[in-house]
Amino acid sequence: MKIKDFNIECDNLKIEENEFSKGSFAKVYKGSYYGNPVCVKVIKKDTLIDKESWVFLKREIGILKNLLNQGHKNIIRFIGIGEKDSLLFLVTELINGGDLGNILLDHKFHIPWSLRVKIAKDIAEGMEYLHSKQIMHRDLKSNNLLLGRNWTIKICDFGFAKEITIQNPLSMTICGTDEFMSPEVILGIQYSYSADIYSFGMVLLELITRSKLDERLPQNNFDIDYEELQNKIPSECPREFLELSMKCCNYDPNDRPSFTDIVQTLDQLAIKLVKETPDGPYPSTPIVVSNPHFDDQSINDWCMLSLIPDDCLENLNEFAEIENNINNNNNNNNNNNNKNNINNNNNNNNNNNNNNNNNNNCKVICENCASPQSTSSVNSSFSNSSLGSNGSNSSGTSTSSGGKKRSQKRKSWKCLIN
């Protein structure tokens, strides 16, 4: 097999020793061509043992040449082909961001919905371009979508791609990856462009759930198990995004939208999400900077005030007076000369009357308030008001109360308001 077009000079092609990917017939390496970083797909001729393998390879080369003429921002850029001894080299641009499939499973990456829609739109625009060139990809999946700069998607791996002609508008070859294949491909029924759209819908489901796709079983005619899927859909997923994925995954190929329609839908959704999304970076954990208005006591007061019911705000002065009384009681708790006649070491009538008065006053703020022997008791009541009767928080972690320092309770208040 002699390569005449798009020849590269193999003497100027440098390949790193360690592969970073491999397929059935090839291994993929990082390399450089005239000093520029490239991706090199290395194919041993002796692995192409049957006619079908050569057909797929020649088809891939032909499609890459076709795409090189104009190019598209969401299609990997083809550089050329080389041949030396028993090896063939397919050289493309190098994309360092990794593939979308692995990125989605790595939850250290925060991917907001606006970015997920942008990613989906990149894929759809690239696929719209392919279909406009009468090319079916036939192996569209998240692992064949590379992340370039600014999360720009590059569609790659055209090993199963096929040019569709008027004389041969349909295909019957079963090829692709099981989890992403449309039912008609799996069942060996004639298919066309809509098979790519089904695969795109499965990629959307990965974008939405950020989890691996469930196996589709023959007893369900290889359709999606919607009950299982429902448990994986985040409640904050934009409705239009989920609806689009479902339309793309329609069992009937005739009911699936075109990529032109898909791009228009994603355009509208992107505009909507931009309006709903604040500008600036997406925060993860709130950070309080050094500021006199955000010292420990100010934060503590703010946290306590934020927990007061609205109908009690008019009693803030009374609340301040109550807190002062409680603090005074706490400071004089062990003082035998307690000027307020509160002595926690003696259960006399004066102590009981004083405690009853304080309890009645505290009902203005919280019905669950405990005996106001110290400020920490009041703090505990606010913290526990959002807990269950067993004193556990929503995550099931045991939460103790009473007798702790204000700084420790303030931490729990911050968790409650985040």
Active site residues: 139
Whether residue 148 is annotated as binding a ligand: the answer is no
22 is annotated as contributing to ligand binding: yes
Return the structure tokens found at 39. 């991706």
Q: Is 241 labelled as part of a ligand binding site?
A: no
Q: CA angle at residue 148 from 196 to 137, to 5 degrees?
A: 15
Residue 101: DSSP 8-state: H
Q: Is 32 annotated as a binding residue?
A: no
Query: In 69-94, which positions are buried (b, 16+ CB within 10 angstroms) versus exposed (e)?
Result: eeebebbbbbbbbbbeeeebbbbbbb
Radius of gyration, alpha carbons of the chain: 33
Count CB-CB contacts under 10 A for residue 406: 15
414 annotated among ligand-binding-site residues: no
Q: How far apart are CA 333 and CA 349, in angstroms?
A: 16
Inter-residue contact 146 to 156 (CB < 8 Å): yes
Q: Which two tokens stand for residue 374?
A: 């110290």
Q: Is 117 one of the annotated binding-site residues? A: no
Please name which of 58, 53, 20 lies closest in space to residue 39, comparing C-alpha atoms: 20
Angle at 244 between CA 243 and CA 246, to 5 degrees: 65
Task: Give CA separation, 17 vs 14, 20, 44, 86, in Å.
Answer: 10, 10, 16, 18
Residue 274 is assigned to a ligand binding site: no
Q: At which residue do the structure tokens 């469930």 appear?
A: 214
Which residue bears the tokens 């008065």?
357
Q: How many CB atoms lie within 10 A of CB 261?
A: 16
Cβ atoms within 10 Å of 263's Cβ, excluding its own: 18
Half-sphere exposure of 152 (CA within 13 A, CB side): 12
Q: How many CB atoms lie within 10 A of CB 403?
A: 10
Cα(194)–Cα(198) distance, integer angstroms: 6
Only one residue has tokens 């062990």, namely 334
336 burial type by CB count under 10 A (0-12 exposed, 13-18 middle, 19+ buried): exposed
Q: Is 20 annotated as a binding residue?
A: yes
Give the distance between the most distant pair of CA atoms in the chain: 107
Q: Is 28 annotated as a binding residue?
A: yes
Q: Annotated binding residue at 403?
A: no
Numbered residues of the known binding site: 20-28, 41
Numbered residues of the known binding site for ATP: 20-28, 41
